Every structure is written in C-alpha cells, then in structure tokens.
C-alpha cells in the first residue's frame, strides 16, 4: 500500500515536468503546424546551460532559471527567423520542417558533445538530498520545487495567452492565419514569438530535469517522445488536457514497475506513443477535418 | 430498379446529425441535382455514398449490391466515383498521370489499357493539349476538368459531382455544364450533382432533391421543386413561403 | 508490374537504364581482382548502405512516409539472421533470407502506424524504433542482451559478401527503377500527394502502403543480416539504435528523395564521409550531417541530385526525363490554400 502511495506521489511530481515540456511542443504545433524535433535538443541545451552556470558562476539552478529561459527564447526566435521561416507551413511543409528541425537537433547535440564530451552530468546542490515527510513518504524538496515551477510557468503562459493582446493574436493565428493577415496582425512576428515561447519552455524543462536526472548530449530524445504522448493524449491548447495527459503518462510509467521488469519500464513511453497515435488516427492532436 | 439507392442514411458527428435519415433513389441514366442551403449535409451525403465516411446507420445500394461500409477504393471498384468541391489533384503528377491512376480501375473494368483509357478521357474533358502539364499550371476550370476526368476514368456507373460548376465564370460554367451532359449522353453514366449555381441545376437535372438540416425536404422535377413551399422556406426563411405563394 | 505486361515494349523498360545498370554490375563484379582488402570491404558496406537507402526511399521518397524507425527492421532482420548463422550447417544465404522475411513480417505487424500520415507517421516510427531497441535488449535469450552475440568468424565468407551485397543492390536498384516507372509508382506518388483523393480514384491505399513497407522492411532486414555476417557480431543497442534509423534518413535525404539516383549518391557520400570523419574528426560526425540536412532542406530539396542537375544544366546538358520526373515528386508543394 505504501508502495502505491510512493509511486502516486512520484508520478504526480514527474507529471508537472512532462506537462511543461509538452505545452511548449503543443504550442508550436498548434500555431505553426510544425513538429519541432529540435525541442529535444533545446531540452538538452537547457540542462547544460544550467550546469555551466552552476559550475562556472556558482549560480543556483533556480536563480539561473530566468537566464536559461530567456536564452532559450532567443534561440527559438533565431531558429525560426533563420530557418523555419523559409519553409512552407502546414501539411505541405510537414516532412521538410520535420527534417530541418531534426538537423538542428543533430547540430545542437554535436555542439554539446564538442563542448562537454559525452560524459553524464547532473546538477548537485546543497538541497539536492533534502526531503520533507508527506503521507508516510518523503518528498524531496527539489522535486517539489521542480513540480511547482513546471506547473506554474505553463499555467501563467496559458493565462497570458487568454488575456493579453499578443496572446489573443497567437490564438487567432492558430485558428486562421490567412484572416489574421487581412485584419493586420503581423503573422510572421506571431510565429517567431510562438516559436520562441515554445523553445523557452523546452529550455526551462531541460534545466529543471538537470537537477533531477543525469544528462549527456543525447539527453532529450525520450523527453521529446514523452511530450508527444502528452500532446496527443491531451489535445491542443487545453491546459487541463495537458495536465491530465501528463499525469496519465507519469502514472503508467510509475506503476508499470509493478508488472514489468525494471529495464523494460523505459520502453513504456515509446509503446504508449505508438498506441496513442494509432488509436487517435484522426490526427496527432485529436482534431479531425470533417467533410 | 434504381441504379443507386440510399436508405435512411444517418451520419452523426458527436451529437449533431449532418445527414438525418435521407432516402434517395437514382434512376439509370438520369441527372439528379442535389441542392440545399450551406450546411444542409450535401457533401456529407456524398461522402457516405462514396465510402469516404461510414454512415452511423442506413445503407447504400448500387445495382442491388450493398456498398455502404466498404472503404472508398472498394466503392470505386463497385462503380461509384466522386469529385471534390475543392479540387484535389495530385500535384506531383502530370494531368495524364493524374487520370492514369484512376484509369487503372477503369481499364480493369473495360479490358482496355490504362494509358489509352486515360488519354481518351483526358481528350474527352478537353485537356488533350495540357496532358503533359502539372495541374498547378491550369486555371480553376482546368483543374475541375482534371477532377472530373479522374472520376470518369475509374469507369463509374454513377458519378457524384460536388460543385463542379460553382466558382467558374459564365463561359466556363456553360462549357462544364455541357460536359456533364455529354458524360450522361455519350458515356451513359448516371450523374448525381451537388450544385449551387441554380441555373445550371435547373437546366441540367432531370430531377432535383432538396436537402435542409440533413433531411430531404423535397424531390421532383426542377419546375416542381422551385414551387415547393418547403424549399422556398428553406432558402428564404420561414414566412417567406407565404409571401411568395399567397 | 500492374498493367505493364500488356504493352509490347513497356515504357518503363528503358534500354539505356537497363544497360547502364548491367554494365555497372558487371564492372563492380570483376572489380575486386584489382582491389586491396580495405577498399573491397568498404565497397561491401557501401553496397549494403545503398540498398538500405533505396529501400527506405520507397517509403520516404515514393510514398512520402518519412520513417525514423528503420533500425527496427534492420535490427530484427540482423538478429534473426544471426541466430540462424549460429548453426553453421545452414548456408548463410538462408539466414539472410530468413532475416529479410522476418523483418518483412515484423513490419506487417506494425501496419497500424501506416494509417498515420506525415509527421504523425514519423513520430510513431521513432516510438517503434526505440521501443524495439529496449525490448530486444531486454530479450537476452534472443539477442544476447547488451553484450550481444558473437558469430563464427569466416574470412572467406566476409570476402564473398561483396558479391552477395552487390547482388542485393542490383536487385533493389532494379526494383526501385521498375516501381518508379510502373503504374504502381504512379499510385504511390498519388498516395504521397493526397491519400484520400487517391482512395477516391480507386487506389487501395492501405494495401499499397502495407506492401511497400513490407518490401522496404525486408530489404532493411536483409542488409541487417548481411552486415551481421560482415561484422560477425550483433549487439541490440547498435543494430536497433536511433543513429541507425537516422542513417537511412540522412542517406536518402542528402542524396535526394524520390528519384532512384538520389539515394545511391547519398549513400555513397554518406559512407565516404563517415569513413573520413571517423578517421579524422570523429567528434564532428553528427553535426556535419545535421548541417548538411539543414542546408539541403533550405536550399536544395532535391539534395545532391539537385546540385548535380544544376551543374549539368550549367554545362548545357539536359536532364534525363526520369530524373526530372523523380524530382517533381520531391519538390515541396505549395500550401493548398495558396494554389487553389
């Protein structure tokens, strides 16, 4: 029984991180119709950025958060302006943008490899091992903080999208870019902004992950695929759907340890990805164009 | 016996019934017009009959053979072909290649050679001199002809035409209407056509069926249908019927 | 091929292409008398790489289904072949054939992912590949787990692999050309362009995609089996690895997706570049390919084939029509709303 509670608690804590990763990916897809494979690379880059700031400047990862998020945002805008902007969007540009951003991911991986070698790293702080008691289990302080930030940031972003002009412009472009051009919204700027925001969330998720898990230049690929699971399950632009889907994924992963050999639990996310995609054939994000 | 028959067809999307119990009987060799306000369920009805969508309930029969529930390519093999309201040519293929893809079915049916059949159909729709071009280089009217040729090349018994005339200038519309009539007269293909251009429907159709809110509200000769108070009401709003026909 | 038989001289049977292929095969078949062992082996690997790239292109180029999971088929074929190769009484070609058949069957089991199109398909194949890697690493009884399986070392067989690989390549290249020129190729390009419209034109879209994936997977499985013999060692994290899946994508895309010539060129460049990089700059391996991918997508969607065509045009040489046709299939379409 206590085991089940432990697993539930760790699932909830992990779900926050999944939600943050997925929200960024879903935002970019929802507005630009581009599947951002470079998301994985930015998650990895965020982890290294936090690690470098911690090592070189002694900056606490939670203090370096704004820096890493801002840096990822700039990186995202740069990738959009320099590369993605030049491709056709939507179904026609699907394979092109996928491959292009895949190339970006490979380059990011290689840069990390050149700078930091292929060794595993992790960010260790004074509070890394602290924990507080909760429901008969111990909650690591760091996990709680990660959960809190990972939930708060997408939530805040979601509110911004609802209540600011820029947010409304983004949502309008997601629905119909052509009409937006007609009413004078600068669609290109909205795209750049959206790509930047999505990428910033990837950087955030990467930094937070780095305080929990070890990472190397290949880090991010399974995080990317887990983000897909969440986006597919949860639907686009729904913060509640994203949260629930993240919780489902994290729970399935956590509880699978009860029925599967430990080694196989890492395959659970991938299997879920295939199953979820196949069971929702109408489209990745649950929308279906009706005839 | 009608060549194509739909029996109490229903299609629901969520709670909404896009097609709500439609019966339709199409006689061999006729041109049946299907009209109705936007959102009346006309295109959904076509999708159900062409196998693009599976009906929630109800059946479709072609020559006494049930075709509802079959996938789209099997419905084509059975003898129903459709065109799309928004043309969907294969942009990576030439006009002739576009039609050849469809002619693979038609040739299997008639025992002719696919390429020969495709060339014949392309000439029939008046695109012989554009056969080697890509559809993207054609005008809208040209692309609609490609769409028509592709459906025709499958060798259908019944052709479902979704607004092949709408959106064209009057001269082009005239020519395409002529083409539709030739398809029936010269090739013996039964035609069901959704059309917004009333003049074309009235001139071409032997009979007209009127859809509104997913139901068939009237059916008959063009002259009968335009006098039907339900139809006037559907198009002009309630109360209008009383004013037009006191 | 469908419908091709009735013609007196089928249009796809271009004498020049067939003759060119035959000459190339004959030259390559007698070449080893003049080769040092290093080049001999490098060519064997190149033939395998080209075969794999061509087979990947049936999916990625002809059907427009970009697979990031071909390592699943390569690996499964490789391990099935390896298991058979462990019985030394069985002739090796039986093992490779078994690997190919097994990989083909494996892909049939994966058919639901073919109901997905475009990026959805690509993402599902990443999941398929990675799930295969983990599951097969776990199945130690079959794959030997993370430490892999060692096969009996047979230098004679390794030398003879050259001709087996060449034979496979000749088969796959001929098949690529025939598919491209046949009505089946037309149907695949139609599916690539618009799967629903293809079904409305009577193309059995699901069946066609299943068959092409099975063929593509079988070839990937055969190359897996042959390379198992070549290295006399198989290890799941290598054979099923994501980098393996990526190599299929890179070879075809760098060379130029859609045409027959593209993946051949791409695989040759890929293998040559890899040899050079591994020797001189191992740390630049991924980034260089990534950069190349970005440049190609941005500036020359037809890959090196497109570059070659441009150069040829500059020198006043007109492109052969089948190259041009291949290119038309790969050119990015304009968004539908714009072209309507």
Q: Percent of chain A beyond pLDDT 90?
A: 29
The answer as to whether A69 is a domain residue is yes
Cut 0.90: pTM above it? no
Nearest residue on chain B to C190, alpha-carbon basis: B90
Q: What is the distance, to the nearest Å, from the Cα of residue C136 to the centroid of all Cα atoms in its chain?
A: 22
CA–CA separation, C339 and B120 (whole Å): 27
pLDDT tens, residue by residue, B158-174? 999 999 998 889 899 99
Nearest residue on chain B to C199, alpha-carbon basis: B73
Mutation for testing the C interface, residue in B87, B88, B141 having most C CBs under 10 Å: B88
In total, the C-beta contacts within 8 angstroms joining chain B to chain C are 95
**Cβ <8 Å between C119 and A98:** yes
**Averaged pLDDT of chain A:** 84
The answer as to whether A284 is a domain residue is no
Task: List CB contacts (< 8 A) between C124 and chain A.
Answer: 273-274, 277-278
**Averaged pLDDT of chain B:** 89
**Cβ <8 Å between B13 and A290:** yes
Task: List CB contacts (< 8 A) between B100 and chain C.
Answer: 183, 186
The answer as to whether A287 is a domain residue is no
What does the domain layout of chain C look like in residue ranges?
15-239
Nearest residue on chain B to C207, alpha-carbon basis: B73
The answer as to whether A222 is a domain residue is yes
Report DSSP state, residue C62: I
Q: What is the distance, to the nearest Å, from the Cα of residue B33 to the centroid of all Cα atoms in its chain?
A: 9
**Cβ <8 Å between B52 and A291:** yes
CATH number at residue A241: 1.10.3470
- Contact with chain B for residue A291, Cβ under 8 A: yes
Report DSSP state, residue B71: -
pLDDT over 70 at C324, yes or no: no
Task: List CB contacts (< 8 A) between A98 and chain C.
Answer: 66, 119, 122
In chain B, residues 174-213 whose CB comes closer than 8 Å to chain C: none
- Contact with chain B for residue A58, Cβ under 8 A: no
Q: Which of A31-35, A41-45, A77-81, B113-117 has the lowest mean pLDDT?
A: A31-35
pLDDT over 50 at B131, yes or no: yes
In total, the C-beta contacts within 8 angstroms joining chain A to chain B are 8
User: How far away is chain B from the Cα of C108, in angstroms, using its nearest Cα?
Assistant: 20
The number of domains in chain A is 1
**Averaged pLDDT of chain C:** 84
Q: Domain of A38? A: 2-119+130-279
pLDDT tens, residue by residue, C214-272? 999 999 999 999 999 999 999 999 999 988 999 999 999 999 887 888 899 999 999 99
CA–CA separation, C78 and C64 (whole Å): 26
pLDDT tens, residue by residue, A165-186? 888 888 888 887 777 877 778 8
Task: List CB contacts (< 8 A) between C115 and chain A.
Answer: 278, 281
Could you give the count of Cα atoms lying within 13 Å of B154 in the half-sphere of its Cβ? 32
The answer as to whether A268 is a domain residue is yes
- Contact with chain C for residue B50, Cβ under 8 A: yes
């Amino acid at each position: 029984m206590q085991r089940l509670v432990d697993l539930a608690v760790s699932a909830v804590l992990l779900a926050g991180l999944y939600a943050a990763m997925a929200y960024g990916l879903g935002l970019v897809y929802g507005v630009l119709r581009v599947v951002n494979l470079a998301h994985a690379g930015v998650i990895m880059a965020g982890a290294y950025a936090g690690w470098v700031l911690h090592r070189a400047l002694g900056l606490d990862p939670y203090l370096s958060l704004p820096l890493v998020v801002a840096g990822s945002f700039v990186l995202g805008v740069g990738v959009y302006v320099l590369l993605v902007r030049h491709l056709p969007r939507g179904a026609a540009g699907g394979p092109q943008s996928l491959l292009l951003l895949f190339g970006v991911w490979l380059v990011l991986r290689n840069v990390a490899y050149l700078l930091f070698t292929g060794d595993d790293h992790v960010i260790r702080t004074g509070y890394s091992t602290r924990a507080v008691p909760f429901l008969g289990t111990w909650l690591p302080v760091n996990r709680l903080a990660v959960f809190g930030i990972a939930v708060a940031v997408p939530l805040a972003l979601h509110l911004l999208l609802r209540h600011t002009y820029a947010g409304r412009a983004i949502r309008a472009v997601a629905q119909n870019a052509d009409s937006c051009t007609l009413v004078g919204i600068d669609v290109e700027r909205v795209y750049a902004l959206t790509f930047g925001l999505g990428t910033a969330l990837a950087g955030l998720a990467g930094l937070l992950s780095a305080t929990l898990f070890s990472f190397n230049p290949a880090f991010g690929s399974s995080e990317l695929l887990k983000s897909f699971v969440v986006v597919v399950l949860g639907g686009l632009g729904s913060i509640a759907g994203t949260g629930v889907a993240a919780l489902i994924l994290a729970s399935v992963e956590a509880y699978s340890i009860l029925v599967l050999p430990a080694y196989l639990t890492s395959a659970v996310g991938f299997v879920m990805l295939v199953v979820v995609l196949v069971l929702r054939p109408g489209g990745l994000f649950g929308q279906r164009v009706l005839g | 016996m009608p060549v194509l028959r739909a029996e109490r067809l229903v299609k629901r999307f969520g709670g909404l019934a896009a097609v709500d119990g439609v019966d339709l009987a199409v006689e061999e060799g006729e041109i049946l017009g299907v009209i109705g306000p936007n959102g009346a369920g006309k295109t959904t009805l076509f999708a159900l009959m062409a196998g693009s969508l599976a009906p929630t309930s109800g059946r479709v029969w072609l020559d006494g053979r049930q075709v509802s529930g079959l996938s789209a390519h099997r419905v084509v093999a059975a003898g129903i072909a459709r065109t799309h309201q928004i043309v969907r040519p294969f942009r990576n293929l030439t006009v002739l290649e576009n039609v050849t893809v469809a002619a693979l079915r038609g040739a299997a049916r008639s025992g002719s050679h696919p390429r020969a059949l495709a060339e014949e159909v392309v000439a029939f729709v008046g695109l012989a001199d554009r056969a080697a071009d890509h559809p993207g280089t054609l005008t809208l009217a040209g692309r609609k002809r490609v769409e028509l040729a592709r459906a025709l090349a499958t060798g259908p018994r019944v052709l479902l035409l979704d607004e092949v005339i709408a959106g064209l200038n009057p001269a082009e519309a005239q020519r395409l209407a002529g083409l539709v009539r030739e398809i029936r007269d010269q090739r013996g293909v039964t035609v069901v056509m959704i059309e917004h251009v009333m003049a074309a429907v009235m001139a071409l159709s032997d009979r007209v069926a009127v859809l509104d809110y997913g139901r068939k509200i009237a059916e008959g000769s063009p002259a009968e249908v335009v006098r039907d108070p339900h139809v006037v009401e559907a198009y002009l709003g309630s109360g209008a019927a009383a004013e037009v026909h006191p | 091929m469908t419908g091709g038989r009735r013609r007196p001289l089928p249009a796809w049977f271009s004498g020049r292409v067939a003759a060119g292929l035959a000459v190339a095969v004959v030259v390559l078949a007698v070449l080893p008398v003049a080769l040092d062992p290093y080049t001999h082996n490098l060519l064997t690997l190149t033939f395998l790489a080209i075969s794999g790239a061509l087979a990947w292109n049936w999916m990625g180029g002809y059907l427009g289904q970009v697979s990031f999971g071909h390592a699943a088929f390569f690996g499964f074929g490789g391990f099935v072949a390896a298991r058979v190769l462990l019985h030394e009484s069985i002739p090796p070609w039986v093992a490779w054939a078994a690997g190919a058949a097994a990989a083909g069957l494996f892909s049939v089991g994966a058919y639901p992912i073919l109901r997905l199109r475009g990026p959805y398909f690509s993402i599902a194949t990443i999941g398929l590949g990675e799930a295969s890697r983990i599951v097969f690493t776990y199945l130690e009884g079959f794959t030997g787990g993370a430490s892999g399986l060692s096969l009996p070392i047979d230098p004679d067989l390794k030398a003879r692999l050259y001709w087996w690989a060449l034979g496979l390549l000749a088969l796959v290249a001929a098949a690529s050309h025939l598919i491209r020129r046949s009505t089946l190729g037309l149907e695949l390009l139609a599916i690539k362009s618009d799967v629903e419209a293809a079904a409305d034109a009577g193309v059995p879209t699901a069946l066609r995609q299943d068959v092409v994936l099975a063929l593509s997977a079988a070839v990937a499985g055969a190359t897996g089996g042959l390379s198992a013999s070549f290295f006399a060692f198989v290890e799941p994290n290598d054979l099923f690895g994501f980098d393996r899946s990526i190599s299929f994508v890179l070879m075809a895309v760098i060379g130029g997706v859609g045409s027959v010539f593209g993946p051949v060129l791409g695989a040759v460049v890929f293998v040559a570049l890899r040899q050079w990089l591994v020797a001189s700059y191992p740390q630049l391996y991924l980034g260089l390919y990534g950069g190349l991918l970005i440049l190609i997508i941005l500036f020359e969607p037809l890959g090196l084939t497109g570059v070659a065509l441009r150069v040829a045009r500059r020198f006043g040489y007109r492109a052969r029509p089948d190259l041009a046709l291949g290119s038309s299939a790969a050119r990015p379409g304009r968004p539908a709303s714009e072209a309507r």
